[in-house]
Every structure is written in C-alpha cells, then in structure tokens.
Amino acid sequence: MTDQDRSPRPDRRTLSSAARLYAVQALFQMEAAGQSADRVTREFQNFRIDFEDRDGPTAEADEALFNRIVDDAVTWQSRIDQATDRGLVARWPIDRIDPVLRAVFRAAGAEIVAERAPAKVVISEYVRLTEAFFPEGREARFVNAVLDHVARDLRPDSLP
C-alpha cells in the first residue's frame, strides 16, 4: 500500500481523543480481568490501536498519550481514588460505582495529576467520552461534577 492509498492521518485532537478512549478501555480491562498494566498496554498496542482485523480497521491514536494515561493512572491511583471519593456522595465511594465510570475517573484523574493539559480540556474530553458510553446524559453530568471537584482538589489553581 502506498502513501497515496492511505487516508490522511487524523488530526492531533482526534488522536488524543482515541488515546483517551483506549486508556479508559484498558483501565476497565485491567480491573475486570485482573491484568497488569504492562500486559494490557502491550495488547492494546499490538492488537487494538490502529489494527486491522476481519472486522476492519480500528482507530489510530496517540500511543504516547495512551501509555502516559495508563501509567499515571496506575502510579497515582490511590491519590486519584481519594480525590474522586471526596467528589462523590459519602455513601457511594469509588469502589461502589459503575466500573466504566471508575475507569473514566482514573484516566481523567491521571491527566489532572500529571498537569499536561488544562483541567477544563481534560474534563470536557472525559465528559464527551462518557456520553459515548452512556448516551442518556445523566452519567455525563455526574462525571462533569465529580471531575470538577477532583480538579479543584488535585490542582486548586486549575479552574476559575
């Protein structure tokens, strides 16, 4: 296949959004299957990100961002979970919420802790991602509120 046969490379925002989606999926898989970060990231790099199979191609992604999110989520999980717990109703600690939402909070929390992107951008991206998993919208509003609290907790100067 020549370069002319390939479609144009997606823009940076599209690649970043795909990396975030894959990171949420990887964090979910790590928890659900009890698999290590190394095993899951290798699987995603080899068989999921920009991969062609019988069902067709999967999305290309910013693999460096994907790796950073997963690594930072693992490294900072306790800190992220504690900040998320403080943003949740006291009777609903993070270990009692939907595992997909937990993965969303951990991925977003990793980006908030790492301070590589503005908190508002991180919150917006993960709210949009939540809408893809939960189209009803209720969960997206919930994620927005909790991530706003998490950002104010972990990066007090990040939001007005």
Cα distances (angstroms) measured from residue 23 to each of 1, 40, 45, 106, 139: 29, 10, 11, 9, 19
Q: Which of 27, 48, 14 is nearest to 108 (CA)?
A: 27
Q: Where are the beta strands (DSSP E) in 58-130?
A: none
Claim: this prediction has a pTM higher than 0.85: yes
Identify the pLDDT of residue 19: 96
Mean pLDDT by 10 residues, the chain (160 residues): 56 93 97 96 92 82 96 97 87 83 97 94 97 92 94 88
Q: What is the pLDDT of residue 2?
A: 45
Give yes or no for a contact between 88 and 94, defined as CB atoms under 8 angstroms apart: yes
In the CATH hierarchy, which fold is given to the domain comprising 12-154?
Answer: N-utilizing Substance Protein B Homolog; Chain A (1.10.940)
Q: Do 21 and 92 meet the contact criterion of CB atoms below 8 Å apart?
A: no
* Sequence spans of domains, the chain: 12-154
